[in-house]
Structure 1
Amino acid sequence: MFTIEHDFDATVITLIDEGHEGLQEDITINAFDDCITLEQLHPITEEPMVITLSMTQLRDLAAALDLPEGSYRLERPKG
C-alpha cells in the first residue's frame, strides 16, 4: 500500500509494508525539484534514517532496475 500527497515544495510518497511476517517500517519519499529523500525510522532507536539521491542518481537507479548485472554509464541527453 502507498499514499501520495502534494505539498507546497514536494510530492510525498509513503510506502506501507503490510500483509506478512517481518514487516518493515514505513518509508517516506520526498520528491523535490533537485533531489529525492528517503526516510525510515530505525526500528530500535526510532530515529529517522535519511538517504538523499540526486536526480542523476535517481535516473540511474530507475535504469538499473531493468538491466542485467554489469557496470553502466548513462549518457546525458544532448541539447
Structure 2
Amino acid sequence: MFTIEHDFDATTVTLVDEGETPLKEDVIVHAFEDCVTLTQYDSRLDRDVTVTLSMAQVRDLGAALNLPEGVYRLRRAGQPPGPPGVTSRG
C-alpha cells in the first residue's frame, strides 16, 4: 500500500509494508525539484535515517529496476550508437 500527497515544494509518497513478517518500517519518499529523499525509521538506532539522491541517481535507479545484472551507463543524445537508452559495461 502507498499514499501520495502533493505539497507546495514536494510530492510525498509513503510506502507501507503490508506483506508477511518480518515487516519493515514505512518508507517516506519526498520528491523535490533538485533531489529525492528516502526516510525510514531504524529501530537499531532509534531514529529516522534519510538518504538523499540526486535527480541523476533517481534516473539511473529507475533505469536499473528493469535491467539484468551488469554495469551500465545511460547513453546521452549524440553518443555513439548502442542499445536504446543504456550501454552495458560488463
TM over 0.5: yes
Question: Which of the pair is proportionally richer in strand?
Answer: 2
1:28-74 residue CA offsets vs partner (Å, 9 max, x unmatched)? 00000010000001123331100011111011001111111111110
TM-score (norm 2): 0.80
Q: Hey, what does 2:35 align to over in structure 1?
A: 35
Counterpart amino acid of residue 42 in structure 2: H
How many residues align structurally?
78
Runs (5+) with no aligned partner, structure 2: 79-90
Runs (5+) with no aligned partner, structure 1: none
What is the RMSD of the two structures over their aligned residues, measured on CA atoms?
Answer: 1.3
Q: Which moved more, 1:2-11 or 1:36-45?
A: 36-45
TM-score (norm 1): 0.91
Q: Hey, what does 2:50 align to over in structure 1?
A: 50
Q: Distance in 2 between matches of 1:66 and 1:29?
A: 20
Percent of aligned positions with the same letter in both sequences? 58
Larger Rg belongs to = 2
